Amino acid sequence: MREADGHGSAGRFHDTPFWRTYDRLAKWADRRWGWDRLPKPLGLAVLIGVRDLLRRENLFDTSHEPATDLPPVAAPDPRHSTARGIDGSYNDLAAPRMGMAGSRFGRNIPPDLTAQPAVETILSSPSPREVSRSLLTRTTFVPAESVNALVAAWLQFMIHDWFSHGKSPKDDPWEVRLLDDDPWPDRPMRIMRSRPDPTRPPGARGPATYANSETHWWDASQIYGSNREWHDFVRTGQDGKLKVNPDGTLPRPTHPDHDPSRAPGFWVGLSMMQTLFTLEHNAICDRLRADYPNWADDDLFQRARLVNAALIAKIHTVEWTPAVISHPTAVTGLRANWWGIAGERVSRLFGRLSSSEVISGIPGSRTEHYGVPYALTEEFVAVYRMHPLVPDDYRLRSTADDTVLRECTFRDLAGPNALEVVDKIGLCDLFYSFGTQNPGLVCLHNFPRFMQEFERPDGILQDLGATDILRSRELGVPRYNEFRRLLHLRPANDFNDLTDNPTWAREIERVYHGDIEQVDVTVGMYAEKRPKGFAFSDTAFRIFALMASRRLNSDRFFTTDYTPAVYTRTGLDWIADNTMATVLLRHYPGLRPAMRQVDNAFAPWKQASG
């Protein structure tokens, strides 16, 4: 493990006899019983040790690999100390490049194990298309009944903030051979390669690296942008506010190359969330301007951005994630990430009781990189491949009386079509429709059928299921069993050990020709038995346990600079006092009847009566 020079931990994290003994005991208990089957206090103690072990042994730096033509960093400016950089630079004032747009993804497994496999291994062991058709295809929609479809919209909203490998080159795609009975219109199937790392010198040796075109920080870049052009486009230049059309929708660039609705991944769910938190930014500006009437436009904008980004991070930490992994031990642990085991009430009454993140939460604690420069990782990207959350079919209904306004498919809600739906249906009714519908469960045979024949805005036809399988192989993410070993988990002994569904076990064995070691990480995670209350796998949860808290620990705006001097007292109170429900009701009060009995806005809402 490579350590950061002068930033974060001095040496390896918790490298003491006490912590090594504690972590070994936690690992043993986790393997022997499973954290999720222990009483809550013991389960939490085990999760602390599991996360501690991952922090010490599963963070790897790629920035030290040979590099050239690095993205430029602006000259130091006093404003960097209290405002987020447009491109993510200067979050760490001593290491201004750390986490900025254009910097590399890190790894959660040793980089020397991440070399891109041989072409035949990527394309034909087994074919990504065969995996998609045989194991992923949704035959009957399997709902995640404890949550609503806003969880799918929210996740896409988060991903647009966290990572993108950038535009793929259209020349020299991967060519996937098809079986004779495959109805795909083109032979072979072509899947574009990931964009090569633009900072990698030609002929450089060593592990493959890839660059993130977004900032690595949790900074709401999906609203504010990661570059000057978008940042300037969304701002009004008055009172710190962002541009909103008179009808409550967002303006978009006239040039098609800059229109986000024409970028792959855009759909109505993303538009809904971007609009909601643009409106929330402007509401924060109004509140700040009332308390600080002499502040200039940029002062209001920068403080409102800090508050909005922190509120989004809080909602994800204590509302979205507990909704999709609603095991009591996991929920307590996630809430402790924000408020500590002392809890929200103590935090609001007395503030921090301790410098410890365990006792008083991460916000306001000290910044910690765990000896490794901060970056999101390729393994983090891999476990967030959760397309089964997205339903294929939608019934858009009226908030007032539940009348069906339109029945449509995902295809009707994707790309430029999404903006037409927003204009005709309206955002209040769209939020109501999503809040009263279930998403899909993240499991085998539940991949959206329209995503297996997805036409991008540029006309390219994709099977996103096959692309997900190929992408993890291409980026050097290990197959399922090796992935688990590297995360200190037991591998599956055989196909019946992999899943508790005998039919799935036989299907996976057939597709992978009896070789359990060849099962792709996505397939294994979709097939494995989930802890109680989980909408996705325990294997994926290990990466979340590590990286979800790291995104907070490494960001000084969530740690040492989470203070009234930086945010204002008004700003910190806004974060503490608001939830996803208050944000929705502030901007769409017509949702109140549907949400009146809901504690968590991501739980199913009450349908209106006609």
Q: What is the pLDDT of residues 81-119, one digit of tens each?
A: 999 999 999 999 999 999 999 999 999 999 989 888 889
The pLDDT of residue 323 is above 70: yes
Entry pTM: 0.94
Report the alpha-carbon distance of residue 131 to residue 125 in Å, rounded: 10
Report the alpha-carbon distance of residue 489 to residue 498 in Å, rounded: 13
pLDDT at 2: 35
Report the alpha-carbon distance of residue 56 to residue 49 in Å, rounded: 11
Span 405-413, average pLDDT: 94
Would you give the distance in Å from CA 213 to the centre of its chain?
Answer: 15
Report the alpha-carbon distance of residue 264 to residue 273 in Å, rounded: 17
Report the alpha-carbon distance of residue 316 to residue 220 in Å, rounded: 12
Residue 540 is given by DSSP the state: H
pLDDT digits (tens, 9 = 90+) for 197-224: 999 998 888 888 999 999 999 999 999 9
Angle, CA of 307, 311 and 315, to the nearest 5°: 175
Report the alpha-carbon distance of residue 28 to residue 287 in Å, rounded: 51
Task: Write down the catalytic residue from 64, 80, 160, 327.
Answer: 160
pLDDT at 353: 87
pLDDT digits (tens, 9 = 90+) for 299-317: 999 999 999 999 999 999 9
Per DSSP, the chain holds a count of helices (H) and strands (E) of 27, 6
Span 527-546, average pLDDT: 94
pLDDT digits (tens, 9 = 90+) for 259-284: 888 887 889 999 999 999 999 999 99
**C-beta atoms surrounding 167 within 10 Å:** 11
Angle, CA of 315, 549 and 47, to the nearest 5°: 110
DSSP string computed for 349-385:
HH--S-S-HHHH-STTS----TTS----BHHHHHHT-
- The answer for residues whose C-beta is within 8 angstroms of residue 41's C-beta and 6 or more apart is none
Span 512-522, average pLDDT: 97
Give the residue carrying structure tokens 């204009």. Answer: 423
Active site residue 160: yes
Report the alpha-carbon distance of residue 255 to residue 385 in Å, rounded: 30
pLDDT at 10: 37
pLDDT digits (tens, 9 = 90+) for 2-51: 333 333 333 567 888 898 999 999 999 999 999 999 999 999 999 999 99
Would you give the distance in Å from CA 151 to the centre of its chain?
Answer: 11
Report the alpha-carbon distance of residue 108 to residue 88 in Å, rounded: 22
